[in-house]
């Protein structure tokens, strides 16, 4: 699999990343490890996880795989801190104490002494300089190689990048992670321009529009889909309305003409969008993973890209004419 630089940093990753949001909850450990092994087998390196995913189970699965199936150098591990579930409630805590506790737990579960990329999982109420100082400490101690932010809007991304570049010795912010797909192009308004201005890499989560762009919901909600599960239905429902359906229909038309699947077309659009370092895919089975990996040598025709741009929100200002 081809490699891409993450912004102007020295960090290089496979141009597809493997997401682990549902590992340990919806995807059992044996199945998740099969996905990870297959991903590495075909040259994938970037694995995105978080202390909060599966209450730590996603990191545990990766750690066991490193201990038994893989070597640490096989992976570029990107994890996150500052977000979790306490007493059934989602809590954002980006204080120094919470962040360093999260990192210590991540390293323990991952069976490693360092992570390649550590990201603030969300914008918190703690002073930003306190959160970023925790990252500086982790980098200086060798526990973290590179720093990033996740789910920040444009001005938050710019503020974090500016603060870290203000004085020598601070760990630069090298990446931002945000939802980005044909059904979620809001990142083009502020986040992607901020990433471009500060020369950051961009990781696009949910490049298949939370699964909707794969076309499974065109005639209803399958029982075995994420939209058919009580704990995930709220996540899918916004993309089942009339406007998203029109985008999915356009993707299906393009797929039929190109003899590809809807999922492949949607992934290619995001993978090759300006500024994207890697989309983060979340297949549930090795078969689904292999299907997405078939796109490695593919590229959408320019006229198809332009048509999909138009139907999903207008021309992408970052594309070269």
Catalytic residues: 53
Assigned token pair, 198: 């500060």
CA distance 52 to 278: 21
CA distance 229 to 227: 6
Q: Which residue, 48, 57, 110, 112, is CA-closest to 80? A: 48
Assigned token pair, 230: 């009580």
Assigned token pair, 137: 């400490």
Do the beta carbons of residue 60 and residue 22 sit within 8 Å?
A: no
SS3 assignment, position 58? helix
SS3 assignment, position 231? coil
* 291: Cα separation from own chain's centroid: 19
- Angle among Cα 154, 159, 50 to the nearest 5 degrees reads 75
HEC secondary structure over 207-228: CCCCCHHHCCCCCCCCCCCHHH
């Amino acid at each position: 699999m081809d490699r891409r630089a993450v912004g102007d940093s020295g960090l290089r990753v496979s141009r597809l990343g493997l997401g682990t949001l549902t590992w340990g909850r919806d995807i059992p450990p044996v199945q998740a490890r099969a996905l990870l092994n297959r991903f590495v087998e075909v040259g994938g390196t970037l694995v995105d996880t978080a202390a909060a995913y599966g209450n730590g189970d996603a990191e545990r699965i990766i750690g066991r795989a490193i201990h038994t199936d893989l070597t640490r150098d096989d992976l570029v591990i990107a994890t996150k801190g500052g977000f979790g579930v306490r007493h059934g409630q989602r809590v954002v805590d980006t204080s120094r104490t919470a962040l360093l506790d999260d990192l210590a737990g991540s390293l323990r579960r991952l069976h490693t002494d360092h992570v390649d990329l550590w990201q603030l999982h969300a914008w918190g109420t703690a002073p930003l300089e306190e959160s970023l100082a925790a990252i500086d400490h982790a980098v200086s101690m060798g526990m973290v190689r590179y720093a990033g932010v996740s789910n920040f809007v444009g001005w938050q991304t710019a503020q974090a990048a500016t603060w870290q570049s203000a004085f020598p010795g601070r760990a630069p912010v090298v990446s931002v992670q945000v939802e980005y797909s044909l059904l979620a192009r809001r990142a083009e308004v502020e986040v992607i321009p901020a990433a471009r201005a500060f020369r950051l890499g961009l990781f696009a989560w949910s490049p298949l529009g939370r699964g909707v762009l794969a076309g499974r919901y065109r005639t209803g909600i399958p029982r075995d889909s994420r939209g058919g599960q009580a704990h995930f239905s709220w996540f899918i429902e916004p993309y089942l309305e009339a406007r998203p359906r029109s985008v999915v229909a356009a993707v299906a038309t393009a797929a039929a003409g190109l003899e590809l699947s809807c999922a492949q077309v949607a992934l290619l659009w995001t993978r090759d969008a300006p500024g994207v370092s890697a989309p983060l895919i979340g297949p549930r089975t090795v078969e689904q993973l292999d299907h997405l990996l078939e796109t490695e040598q593919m590229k959408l025709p320019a006229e198809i890209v332009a048509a999909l741009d138009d139907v999903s929100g207008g021309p992408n200002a970052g594309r070269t004419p």
